[in-house]
Amino acid sequence: TQTGGKDLEHLDAPAWKESLENCVKLFRTLEEVQEDRAAERAALVGDGSDEDEVEEEDIELNEGELPDLIEEAQMLEWAGTGFGQTEAYRLQLALKDLLESQPLQSVRLFGKIFGTKSDYIIAECLFKDGEGESDAEGEAEEEGDVVDEDGSDAEGSEAEDPHAVPVPKVKPPVTVPKEQREGVNKYTYFVCSHVGDEWRRLPSVTPEQIMAARGIKKYFTGDLYADVLSHPPFPGTEAHYLRAQIARIAHACTVSPRGFFVSDEDEDDPTLSKNDEFEELNAEELLDLNNWVHHEPKILLQGRTKHFAPEEEEEEEEEPEEEEDEDDEGKIPKPKPTPTPNYLLPEEEPPLLEAVGDDEPIVEETHPAWTARLCRQLTSDYACVSVVNHKWPGACAVARGAQFANIYIGYGHKWTDTAYTPAPLPEVQEEPASKHEKADPTVEAEAEFEKKDDPEEGEEEPNSDDSEDED
């Protein structure tokens, strides 16, 4: 009857049917999963040489920690968030599938970031020791789905794109090295658009990307390979921007009741571990923001959790023990760092397990960054307590007794009290002092010159700024 508007890509029915099948497939029993895996592997190896080695008995599913998402969903429901119990169950199956197919030690549902074309369901994973790094490369070749590990390749492809908006490449003078399997890259994130879709691994994040992400505010599209057209330019694709925002959210909003984790006081490198002697906090105690602590370290100005102080040499040391390819930017000779940018100035690493009550407030005195709420009004003996973060709308944690859960569901942007103003264009650089340029003589001057043609009026007019502005 009517036309116009843009059609959805999703619209073809076969795609849905497949998606529905994927969703139903999640409900396979263990035996069915093993059969399917065996079939998959057989198909893969079928092209290879030794088919005899692959037998059904070989299929071992990875085992690891996976929380009960239903229970979490029930708690989060008290806080008015989460996905509801039915969806939580589907998510649980999807996470279970991920856990069984990768050498993961633990998986947690991070949450969801909305995109304009499709959303990202995000799983936060910890690889088993020694796993993960090499796999990523292998799979990148194998499946073609995994986004490359470092941002430089993506940038390269961006540069090759003839349609890309030419943005001035302002390189930070000193590259802060990336954290490897620690700090902001402690966890690996996998994303998918819908429950049942294939999980895609996000690249690890560079300090540069985190710093750049702080300066921009873009809607996600749902396409990991989409360019991030922004000013200042973002060093990477949407996958990297997504990863950077996830890191910012994770390190700002992942909290737990005080005492659930304890830090092993290992001088320089304190790590957290579960507290076996954790005493459950009651609702009243949980309503005190000082009883909620961050268990992920804060990200410093320089985009790392551990401060990196550049040595005063031209050439910074590359982290030598990592085998994987380093950022290309690291090798670009940098202009002399004068003055030292803010992010290289010494900055104190805040203590681990800092109370959320100490977070920088939204409005001093009146509006702290977090609010704790009792989630049940009338029969509060069994009440959960939630803490919501106002800086990252959509971030919420909830606890009851010895259980707690964190989630983020939102557009992936930090709260701004004022309208977002893109960073101003860099100041127009000083015009180099014109050494030889002369003002075009005016007609009168010329006439005069021609008329007089004597050296008594050799002075030129002063250089005028107006001409600059009009360029």
Partner 1 sequence: MDLAEFPSNLEQVGPFGFTLNPEQRAAMQASLSQLKANYKFSRVIFWGRVSGHSRDYYIAQGFDSDLLRGKRTFVSQSLTRWAQLPEVTEAQRVRCEGLAGLYTGDLSYQYVIVEEVMPWEPPKEKKERGSDDEESEEESEDEIIGDDDEDEEDEDEEDENATYRKLPKKKTKLRRHRITEEVRLAALVNSIDDDTSVVPRGAALIDQADRVSMNSHFQGLSSKEAGNLSFYLHFRPPRVVPKKTLLEKSRLNMAIDFLDRIDEDVPAGSWSIQYDGTGTTASVRSLLWPGYIAYHCPGSRRFGAIYNGNGVRNADIGFML
Cis check: omega of the bond before 320, within 30 degrees of 0: no
Confirm or reject binding of residue 286 to its own copies (CB under 8 A): no
Confirm or reject binding of residue 70 to its own copies (CB under 8 A): yes
Would strands 104-113 and 403-410 be described as parallel, antiparallel, or unpaired?
parallel
Confirm or reject binding of residue 127 to partner 1 (CB under 8 A): no
Closer by beta carbon to its own copies, 283 or else 289: 283
Closer by beta carbon to partner 1, 192 or else 300: 192
In DSSP notation, 65-113 reads B---HHHHHHHHHHTT-S--HHHHHHHHHHHHHHHHHTTEEEEEEEEEE
Confirm or reject binding of residue 276 to its own copies (CB under 8 A): no
Confirm or reject binding of residue 27 to its own copies (CB under 8 A): yes
Confirm or reject binding of residue 67 to partner 1 (CB under 8 A): no
CA angle 324, 126, 216 (to 5 degrees): 70
Closer by beta carbon to its own copies, 34 or else 92: 92
Confirm or reject binding of residue 233 to partner 1 (CB under 8 A): no
Closer by beta carbon to its own copies, 66 or else 191: 66
Rounded to the nearest whole angstrom, what is the least distance from the CB of residue 16 to its own copies in the complex? Answer: 23
> 312 is written with which tokens?
């005063």
Confirm or reject binding of residue 377 to its own copies (CB under 8 A): yes
Question: Contacting partner 1 (CB under 8 A), which of 164, 170, 309, 363?
Answer: 363
Let me know if 374 is exposed, middle or buried by CB neighbors in 10 A (0-12, 13-18, 19+). middle
Confirm or reject binding of residue 93 to its own copies (CB under 8 A): yes
Rounded Cα gap, residues 348 and 378, in angstroms: 45
Count the Cβ atoms, other than its own, within 10 Å of residue 213.
28
Confirm or reject binding of residue 295 to partner 1 (CB under 8 A): no
Rounded Cα gap, residues 180 and 135, in angstroms: 15
Question: Contacting partner 1 (CB under 8 A), which of 35, 77, 139, 326?
Answer: 77
Among its own copies, partner 1, none, what does residue 4 contact (CB within 5–8 Å per kind)? partner 1
Binding characters for partner 1, 152-191, by CB under 8 A (x = yes) = ----------------------------------------
Closer by beta carbon to its own copies, 33 or else 247: 33
Report the chain's terminal Cα–Cα distance, integer Å: 52
| 298: phi then psi, degrees, rounded to nearest 5 | -70, 145
Question: Within positions 187 to 206, which residues make up the interface with partner 1, using CB under 8 A?
Answer: 193-197
The DSSP call for residue 324 is S
Interface stretch with its own copies, choices 52-60, 165-173, 245-253, 376-384 (CB under 8 A) = 376-384
Whether 251 and 295 have beta carbons less than 8 Å apart is answered as: no
Interface stretch with partner 1, choices 39-47, 113-121, 276-284, 324-332 (CB under 8 A) = 113-121
Rounded Cα gap, residues 81 and 69, in angstroms: 13
- Give the residues across from 256 on adjacent strands: 293
Confirm or reject binding of residue 91 to its own copies (CB under 8 A): no
Rounded Cα gap, residues 50 and 29, in angstroms: 29
Size of the site for its own copies (CB under 8 A): 15
Closer by beta carbon to its own copies, 32 or else 437: 32
Among its own copies, partner 1, none, what does residue 163 contact (CB within 5–8 Å per kind)? none
Among partner 1, its own copies, none, what does residue 71 contact (CB within 5–8 Å per kind)? its own copies
Please name the residues in contact with 10: beta carbons below 8 A apart, sequence gap of 6 or more: 16
Rounded Cα gap, residues 42 and 53, in angstroms: 10
Rounded Cα gap, residues 43 and 313, in angstroms: 54
Among partner 1, its own copies, none, what does residue 181 contact (CB within 5–8 Å per kind)? none
Closer by beta carbon to its own copies, 73 or else 369: 73
Closer by beta carbon to partner 1, 241 or else 308: 241
Alpha-carbon 414 to chain mean position: 12
Question: Contacting partner 1 (CB under 8 A), which of 214, 373, 441, 445?
Answer: 373
Among its own copies, partner 1, none, what does residue 282 contact (CB within 5–8 Å per kind)? none
Closer by beta carbon to its own copies, 71 or else 149: 71
Among partner 1, its own copies, none, what does residue 68 contact (CB within 5–8 Å per kind)? its own copies
Q: Which of 302, 298, 300 is nearest to 340 (CA)?
A: 302
Among its own copies, partner 1, none, what does residue 3 contact (CB within 5–8 Å per kind)? partner 1
Helix (H) or strand (E) holding 34: helix 30-46
Confirm or reject binding of residue 403 to partner 1 (CB under 8 A): no
Confirm or reject binding of residue 381 to its own copies (CB under 8 A): yes
Would strands 370-374 and 200-201 be described as parallel, antiparallel, or unpaired?
unpaired
Query: Position of tokens 């906090």?
Result: 281
Own/partner pairs for 424-431, CB < 8 Å, 24+ apart?
425/231, 426/168, 426/170, 431/468
Alpha carbon distances (Å) from 304 to 198, 386, 422: 30, 28, 24
Among partner 1, its own copies, none, what does residue 194 contact (CB within 5–8 Å per kind)? partner 1
Which spans of this chain sit near its own copies (rule: CB under 8 A)?
27, 29, 66, 68, 70-71, 74, 92-93, 96, 377-379, 381-382
